[in-house]
Structure 1
Amino acid sequence: MSPSIQLLKDRYLKNIKENPELYIGIELEFPIVHTKGQLTDIEVSKDLMHFLVDALSLEVEKVDQEGGPIQLVEPKSQDRILFEVSYTTVEFAFGKAKSIQEVEERFRAYMEVIQEKLREKDHAIQGWGIHPNWDINDNRPVAYPRYQMLMDYLSMGSHQESAHLHDFPQYGAFICGSQVQLDVSKSNYLRVINTFTQIEAAKAYLFANSQFSGADWDTQISRDIFWEESMHGIYPENVGVNAKLFKDEDDFFDYLDRSAIFTAERDGETYYFSPILAKDYLSTSRIRAFGINGKEVSIVPEEKDFSSHRSYQFQDLTTRGTVEFRSVCTQPLDRTFASAAFHLGLLVNLDKLEAYLETAPFFERFGRDYKSLRRQFSKKHLTDEETAGIVQFSKDLLAIAEQGLEMRGQSEMTYLVPLKEELDL
């Protein structure tokens, strides 16, 4: 086994249990929007963080370079409220929970306080996958090394002559997603990744919410293009829908070995560089790297740099013994938890889902190129045949998800109601 694959296996397999209890981890990103169409006042955002410390009895976990709070934690639940990349995006990263209701209850409590505070200054959290005022906002990164590094790294795209990249390297400041993490076991994590790869077309149809006004892209999910046609997507294995289903663990890690490493720490400083495939990283003699202060250095690759490895596939094996599902746009506020419920129900009913996908009529009609299916069914306008096919596929998946939630006995089926209404069920 190559050293890079061994390091990746050590990183991603060490916390996977044989028979884990199923917990739910939900992360929600939202734009903070000026309700009168003006740019978001980042002083309002920053004041909000200060206010929440006392209003919600939170502890400050991280501060920016001016000493202002940028990440807060609720000690008991381990929920976190933080800025995500920019001061115009707030993220709720909830501590693990046994049911979706637990998370929703806490979310509602936070939102009641937050929305009331923001309302005083004509601001609000809204349910969009793209900040509606992205083009006039202050899109600078939060004054914190990781976010500054990320924005500087994405800006390298303007110097990549061979790659076809979009012109919005600042996109990290204004795209918002809805992620869910679910516990997987050693015996099922690959099944979960393979199975959910096959349903990205339906997820595109059900959860699209990031149409972009800044470019003539025929898609309702601009976040896909932002990721795939940026520095993150120079190596296609690094982002998006997996290009294939994996035969076994070795096949999966061979694929992961072709994802990218683009950052390293030296003496407490964060550096970034042109992406290098994990498999080539340790055999690279020296790397031309850049600090967030513009300093250029030459660094020698080290094994410890794999500790910052992160791929951005839509079905992402994490270091916490979970699979993170990361292809869903932030949803309108009245259906915030529909995506989590959909994923949870399907995971619980995995056997049924696998059996259905083997013979699903949708694939007979449209083929099994899962990457291009996602792009096809996120278009702004579908043909009658496409609409009929994707609606039926989505209905079938929804029925399997609903059955899975019923098996849990937690009354979580209610979160699927907005999706059922959309499909006229």
Structure 2
Amino acid sequence: MINKEQIRNKLYDEFIQPTNQKKDFIGVEIEIPIINLDKKAVDFDLVHEITHKFQNQYSDFKTEGIDYDGNVFALKNPKTDDIVCYDCSYNNIEFAMGREEELFAINDRFCDYYSFVKESFEEHNHTLTGMGINPYRKYNENIPIPSERYLMLYHHLKSFKNYKDIPMHFHRFPEYGMFSSASQVQLDIYRDDLVKTINVFSKIEPIKALLFSNSVLFGQNDNITCFRDALWEYSTHGVNPHNIGMYDVDFKDLNDLQSYLESLNIYCVMRDGAYINFPSMNLLEYFSRDYVRGEIYCNGEYRDIEIKPCISDIKYLRPFKFINLTFRGTVEFRSICTQPIRDSMSVAAFHLGLKGKLDELDDIITKDTAIYHKGYTAGELRKLLIQDEIPKIFNKKELCALSKEIVDLAKDGLKERGIGEEVFLNPLYDRIKKHTNPGKIIIDSIKNNVKIEKLIDDYGRLSII
């Protein structure tokens, strides 16, 4: 049996130890829905054709992933570490940009790749757009990429019916990964700053909801500007609420943070190159067992299998927090929806600018009365502020003033870098001025009989800085 000290030490080695090096890089991942403008399912044959076309155009990209049908689903440039791939399904393309020291290099390469792919799709009446939920999801064939990881993930999400005696309800969209898209940022955070980074950034999640929400579930719950939150929370990823969403606690030190890591659930491991799913269970419970019964995919079907837990299985621990520690020694910020494409770098700019302003940001939040000191936690506040109509307990002018103060602080942080990256924050000032965000604009536009096709086109357009 594996004891708690072994687990704690392994968690430290995997999540905390990599942050001992002082680095200062930025990583950006942008998931983008693919849309068939004929209002039919995305043509997967076309997707594969454009993948090959991209590889021919950008010859430095090498095949990184091939599905069970022999189709390429991931390409990687070993010189830049840029990855162009499909996320969960062939309805969703992802541009995972290799780490850089500044945003302009990332933006230049992203715009280049995006323009090529979008123009290639538009030759066949398909397109790309910057929305956090695919507005044409009902037309699509929402099936996972036939690969180890994505079949495992979908099998886990479909297993919600097997959880009978837990105090939560599940939505009925286990395929949500195939129609929802995020904009994620990874920053190198030094170990001594980890706890404060998580504590302080957690408290501005409600403001991030006000600024960045862009996930409207058309036809259902379309009064919510960021429905992605619910898709994660009320899925099998949320069986243990510590695995998703907010922390809603203040960590005292690294020991506190490690204790939180011990509270997480695990639901899959690998053996001999194959994933094994099992019911989501606490990490300590998993390692207390002599054997765990799960399912393995083999020759087109699942069969039962028993495995013996081993300490290296911690590398398969997959929490999906709004703020995640990674095995690479980075902190990943993952609560923000894909943005209108022209605003894509605003997400990274916001986090990067605030990274070195933790004390000032903490001071702003401590003194705030626009959202805090009203009896609500940060998690509760975020749920209130992703509604189309902001509850009356909040003063909109005060909300905008708080948002501007935080964006101003991010701007100061970027200015101190002396590169000019603060230009990427401009869209946020426009949103603050108009008391809106991309999700609210979608909701208001639909109410005013604006066709969704117009929004698809608008949100898919690039602007070159």
Aligned counterpart, 1:330: 338
- The correspondence of residues 210-359 of structure 1 with structure 2, limited to 5 A, is 210-213=215-218, 215-216=220-221, 218-292=223-297, 293-359=301-367
Aligned counterpart, 1:397: 406
Aligned counterpart, 2:181: 176
Number of positions where the alignment pairs a residue of Structure 1 with one of Structure 2:
424
Counterparts of 1:270 and 1:2, CA distance in 2 = 26
Q: Structure 1: which 5+ residue stretches go unaligned?
A: none
Alpha-carbon deviation of 1:265?
1.3
Select which of 433, 437, 443 maps to 1:424. 433
Counterparts of 2:73 and 2:43, CA distance in 1 = 16
- Specify the code of the residue in structure 2 equivalent to 1:321: G
Counterparts of 1:14 and 1:349, CA distance in 2 = 24
Select which of 9, 19, 26 maps to 2:28. 26
Alpha-carbon deviation of 1:240?
0.3
% of aligned pairs identical? 32
Moved over 4 A (4+): none
Alpha-carbon deviation of 1:275?
0.7
Aligned counterpart, 2:127: 124
Alpha-carbon deviation of 1:364?
4.3
Counterparts of 1:96 and 1:54, CA distance in 2 = 24
Cα distance, 1:233–1:217 mapped onto 2, change above 3 Å: farther
Alpha-carbon deviation of 1:245?
1.3
Question: Which is further off, 385-394 or 301-310?
Answer: 385-394
Counterparts of 2:122 and 2:105, CA distance in 1 = 26
Aligned counterpart, 1:9: 12
SS at match of 1:151: helix
Q: For the Cα contact (< 8 Å) 1:348–1:405, is it kept in 2?
A: no
SS at match of 1:232: helix
Counterparts of 1:200 and 1:280, CA distance in 2 = 31
Select which of 353, 362, 368 maps to 1:360. 368
Give the alignment's TM-score, normalised by structure 2: 0.88
Q: For the Cα contact (< 8 Å) 2:23–2:190, is it kept in 1?
A: no
Q: Deviations over 1:159-206 (max 9, x none)?
A: 222341111111111110000001111110111111100000000111
Alignment pair present for 1:409 and 2:411: no
Q: Deviations over 1:88-146 (max 9, x none)?
A: 10111111011111101001111221112111111111101011111221111111110
Alignment pair present for 1:87 and 2:90: yes
SS at match of 1:95: strand
Alpha-carbon deviation of 1:252?
1.1
Counterparts of 2:47 and 2:114, CA distance in 1 = 14
Q: Structure 2: which 5+ residue stretches go unaligned?
A: 435-465
Select which of 61, 76, 79 maps to 2:64. 61
SS at match of 2:342: helix
Question: Which is further off, 194-203 or 159-168?
Answer: 159-168
Counterparts of 2:100 and 2:384, CA distance in 1 = 35
SS at match of 2:158: helix
Cα distance, 1:265–1:214 mapped onto 2, change above 3 Å: farther
- The correspondence of residues 162-173 of structure 1 with structure 2, limited to 5 A, is 162=165, 163-173=168-178
Alpha-carbon deviation of 1:35?
2.5
Alpha-carbon deviation of 1:363?
4.3
SS at match of 1:282: helix
Q: For the Cα contact (< 8 Å) 1:177–1:329, is it kept in 2?
A: yes
SS at match of 2:175: helix
